[in-house]
Amino acid sequence: MAATLRTNEYPGKLVVMEGLEGAGKTTQLTLLGTWLEAEGYAVNYMKRRTSQLVSQAIADAKAKKTLTPVTYSLIHAADFADSLENEVIPALKAGFIVLADRYIFTSFARDVVRGNDRQWVEKLYSFAIRPDALFYLSVPIDVSFRRTAPSRIQEFYDSGLDTGLHPDPAECFRLFHSRILHEFQDHILREYDFQALDGTQPIHTVQREFRAKVSQLLG
């Protein structure tokens, strides 16, 4: 069952794109934002791990490899909460279209794959605002692996080495992100009414479909 999230009662719109590493989320959101601004809309971008309050603490904890599955969840939820209250909500109140490069749903998937209870994770983020539109940029795990920078694949937490799935970072990345993919496919996408976009298609093809769907939202 999907978590109960706060309704967006502000004049702005919240558009979220989720997907695996290397799916092309940032590219598509940047192109969409440029187009929306040309159409006369005010646009604001949201990215995870950008909170001035928490982002440095996350970086320090990751460097020391001290995060457990629970503390990983809690510290990223704190980062999200700070960004939501101090960046996203003010922008929505001002009538901006907020484009989120990942939101709470990647956290749902990663935290559950790390062994946390699904209902506990969803309750942890129950303060979040429900997006006005949810998109999932779909790519197979092999495409994700090929497009992801080697430095990200080698990174301890990004590759999922903390889960102990495999001692080799590359193989662990494949296993870890394959499980994230299945968490999206088996639970998140249908429970939260995502609209799927094919991330293996040419960039301009995906962007054209993305713009058409967002245009419907904006009327």
Q: How many residues belong to the chain?
A: 219
pLDDT in tens, 161-196: 999 999 999 999 999 999 999 999 999 999 999 999
> Can you tell me the mean pLDDT for 129-143?
97
What are the residue ranges of helices labelled H in 114-168? 118-124, 141-147, 150-154
pLDDT in tens, 42-97: 999 998 766 777 888 898 999 999 999 999 999 999 999 999 999 999 999 999 99
pLDDT in tens, 111-125: 999 999 999 999 999
Percent of the chain beyond pLDDT 70?
A: 99
Question: In this model, does residue 148 exceed pLDDT 70?
Answer: yes
Cite the beta strand spans of 2-108 per DSSP E: 13-19, 43-47, 97-101
Tell me the chain's radius of gyration from C-alpha atoms. 17
Topology of 13-218 in CATH?
A: Rossmann fold (3.40.50)
What residues contact residue 178 under an 8 Å CB cut-off, 6+ apart?
A: 141
Measured distance CA(20)–CA(66) in Å, rounded: 24
**For residues 18 and 102, is the Cβ–Cβ distance under 8 A?**
yes
Sheet holding 133-138, edge to edge: 43-47, 97-101, 13-19, 133-138, 195-198
Measured distance CA(15)–CA(76) in Å, rounded: 20
Question: The pTM is what?
Answer: 0.93
Q: Give the pLDDT confidence score for residue 1 in this predicted structure.
A: 61
